[in-house]
């Protein structure tokens, strides 16, 4: 082997993780990490969570403004009608190994359905907006259909007369949810719809910047959402709560984990230096649902974990993020753990598509640099001369 490159005198600054790098201007989403505020197109998510619906939030993200009543009715019916998936997609879902992670199945299915979209390669803004609506509409149906198939159950077709969140729960569980559960699902989808330039949105942008199609960009985003440092954290957080099992054990678990320099999943954030506003909203729903379902102990465990972690990591400004409560809420809504990250995608596909469409308005190929520190004089030895 040759020797390593001698470090140049002017070693560049390396921004591993791109922590403080701005890659585009945007008017989609603003995260105020100091004050714990999250805005979509200027609208505070507190207001949206209280008054809006996921369907209206989609419109706001994609179009950049509130819809008129007529526009809203039209957009809602387009989304509802586009929920259906074709027999080809169902056949694909039936071919998946029964133990395939649902997020991987979703990634595969989104890639697959792109081949049936007659506008796939139409790069116009109008076509991309229509594709975005179709994607947003079909992702929940794909997840629900695969879930039913893997459990040997009959697929529940979408009901266009219902709201998207309510219909999603119905398609997964086979039962129409009670109004509180349907509303909580709707709010959870509102809260996860976008979060500025996070890892999955950036993956979508990188793919889109090559002028690949919208579906390709969303496949890249789903693949990136999968990891436990991003979309997978809610599952990891709930697993921890269930493993702790008793409220009396929660504080010690946190102290032991921190002493061993471990991470408490559902805490910390690259941007928030205070409570994630989404976490605060979901925490209240987790409390209500835990009472309704007679699972107060689980909520108590989360409260003790929260109090202990915030107290112990105050100096590092580590607070609960949305994932700490979303997993708990989904569990109390009856969703299995391996659907949590796919449910994140149900919502976030609206933000991803909005970012890609915005980026294409002023596209630039993403092509960063890496700083080479490997050998420069490695001697090639022909295969037959090697031991």
Q: Which of 24, 63, 120, 270 lies at the binding interface for ligand ACO (CB under 6 A)?
A: 270
Which residue in 104, 230, 297, 338 is the catalytic one? 230
146 binds ligand ACO (CB under 6 A): no
Does 51 participate in catalysis according to the annotation? no
221 binds ligand ACO (CB under 6 A): no
Q: Which of 4, 5, 84, 229 lies at the binding interface for ligand ACO (CB under 6 A)?
A: 229
63 binds ligand ACO (CB under 6 A): no
Residues 8, 14: Cα–Cα separation, whole Å? 14
Q: Which of 59, 168, 265, 319 lies at the binding interface for ligand ACO (CB under 6 A)?
A: 265
Q: Which of 120, 263, 273, 293 lies at the binding interface for ligand ACO (CB under 6 A)?
A: 263
Does 323 participate in catalysis according to the annotation? yes
Q: Which of 140, 177, 268, 351 lies at the binding interface for ligand ACO (CB under 6 A)?
A: 268
18 binds ligand ACO (CB under 6 A): no
List alpha helices for the chain, DSSP H. 45-51, 54-63, 69-81, 87-95, 102-113, 125-150, 164-173, 179-191, 199-209, 214-225, 233-244, 247-259, 277-292, 296-312, 322-332, 340-360
4 binds ligand ACO (CB under 6 A): no
What minimum distance in Å lies between the beta carbon of 315 and ligand ACO?
9
Residue with tokens 């493993």: 243
241-245 long-range contacts (CB < 8 A, ≥24 apart) are 241/298, 241/301, 241/302, 241/305, 241/327, 241/328, 242/298, 244/301, 244/305, 245/301
Question: Buried (b) or exposed (e) across 41-73, using 16+ Cβ within 10 A?
Answer: bebebeebbeebbbbbbbbbbbeeeebeeeeee
38 binds ligand ACO (CB under 6 A): no
What minimum distance in Å lies between the beta carbon of 270 and ligand ACO?
4
Residue with tokens 């459990």: 151
What minimum distance in Å lies between the beta carbon of 271 and ligand ACO?
8
Which residue in 146, 269, 331, 355 is the catalytic one? 269
CA distances from 322 to 38, 190, 268, 282, 307 (A): 12, 12, 10, 8, 16
Residues 365, 168: Cα–Cα separation, whole Å? 36
Does 230 participate in catalysis according to the annotation? yes
Count residues contacting ligand ACO (CB under 6 A)?
17
What minimum distance in Å lies between the beta carbon of 276 and ligand ACO?
7
Dihedral, CA atoms, 250, 256, 260, 261, nearest 10 degrees? 40
Measured CA angle at 81 (ends 67, 148), to 5 deg:
120
Say which residues have a Cβ less than 8 Å from residue 85's Cβ, sequence separation at least 6.
Answer: 113, 138, 141, 142, 145
Q: Which of 62, 184, 233, 279 lies at the binding interface for ligand ACO (CB under 6 A)?
A: 233
Q: Which of 140, 164, 177, 266 lies at the binding interface for ligand ACO (CB under 6 A)?
A: 266
Length of the chain: 387
Is 384 buried (19+), middle (13-18) or exposed (0-12) by CB count in 10 A? exposed
Mark the segment that binds ligand ACO (CB under 6 A) among 28-36, 108-116, 228-236, 288-296. Answer: 228-236
273 binds ligand ACO (CB under 6 A): no
Closest to ligand ACO by CB, 209 or 321 = 321
269 binds ligand ACO (CB under 6 A): yes
Residues 206, 201: Cα–Cα separation, whole Å? 9
Q: Which of residues 304-323 bind ligand ACO (CB under 6 A)?
A: 313, 316, 318, 321-323
272 binds ligand ACO (CB under 6 A): no
Say which residues have a Cβ less than 8 Å from residue 93's Cβ, sequence separation at least 6.
Answer: 105, 109, 142, 145, 146, 149
283 binds ligand ACO (CB under 6 A): no
What minimum distance in Å lies between the beta carbon of 193 and ligand ACO?
12
Which residue in 147, 213, 323, 355 is the catalytic one? 323
- Contact residues for ligand ACO, defined by CB under 6 A: 229-230, 233, 263-270, 313, 316, 318, 321-323
Q: Which residues are catalytic?
A: 230, 269, 323
């Amino acid at each position: 082997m040759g020797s390593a490159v001698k470090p140049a005198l002017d070693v560049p600054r390396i921004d591993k993780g791109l922590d403080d790098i701005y890659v585009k201007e945007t008017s989609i989403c603003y995260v105020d990490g100091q004050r714990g505020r999250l805005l979509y197109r200027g609208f505070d998510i507190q207001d949206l969570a209280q008054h809006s619906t996921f369907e209206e939030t989609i419109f706001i993200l994609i179009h950049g403004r509130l819809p008129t009543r007529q526009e809203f009715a039209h957009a809602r019916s387009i989304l509802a009608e586009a929920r259906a998936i074709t027999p080809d997609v169902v056949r694909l879902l039936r071919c998946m190994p029964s133990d395939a992670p649902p997020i991987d199945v979703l990634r595969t299915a989104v890639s697959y359905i792109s081949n049936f979209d007659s506008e796939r390669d139409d790069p116009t803004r109008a076509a991309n907006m229509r594709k975005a609506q179709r994607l947003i509409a079909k992702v929940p149906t794909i997840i629900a259909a695969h879930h039913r198939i893997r459990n040997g159950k009959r697929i529940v077709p979408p009901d266009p007369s219902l709201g998207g969140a309510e219909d999603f729960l119905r398609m997964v569980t086979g039962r129409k949810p009670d109004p509180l559960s349907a509303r909580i699902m709707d709010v959870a989808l509102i809260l996860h719809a976008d979060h500025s330039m996070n890892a999955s949105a950036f993956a979508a942008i990188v793919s889109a910047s090559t002028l690949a199609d919208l579906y390709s960009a969303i496949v890249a985003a789903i693949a990136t959402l999968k990891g436990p440092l991003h979309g997978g954290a809610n599952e990891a957080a709930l697993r921890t709560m269930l493993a702790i099992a008793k409220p009396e054990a929660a504080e010690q678990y946190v102290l032991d984990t921190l002493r061993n320099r471990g991470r408490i999943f559902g805490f910390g954030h690259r941007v928030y230096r205070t409570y994630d506003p989404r976490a605060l909203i979901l925490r209240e729903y987790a409390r209500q649902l835990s009472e309704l379902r007679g699972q107060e102990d689980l909520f108590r465990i989360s409260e003790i974990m929260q109090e202990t972690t915030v107290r112990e990591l105050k100096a590092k400004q580590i607070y609960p993020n949305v994932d700490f409560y979303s997993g708990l809420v989904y569990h109390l809504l009856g969703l299995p753990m391996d659907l949590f990250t796919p449910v994140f995608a149900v919502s976030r596909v609206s933000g991803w598509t909005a970012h890609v469409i915005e980026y294409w308005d002023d596209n630039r190929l993403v092509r960063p640099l890496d700083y080479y520190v490997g050998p420069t004089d490695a001697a090639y030895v022909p295969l037959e001369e090697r031991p």
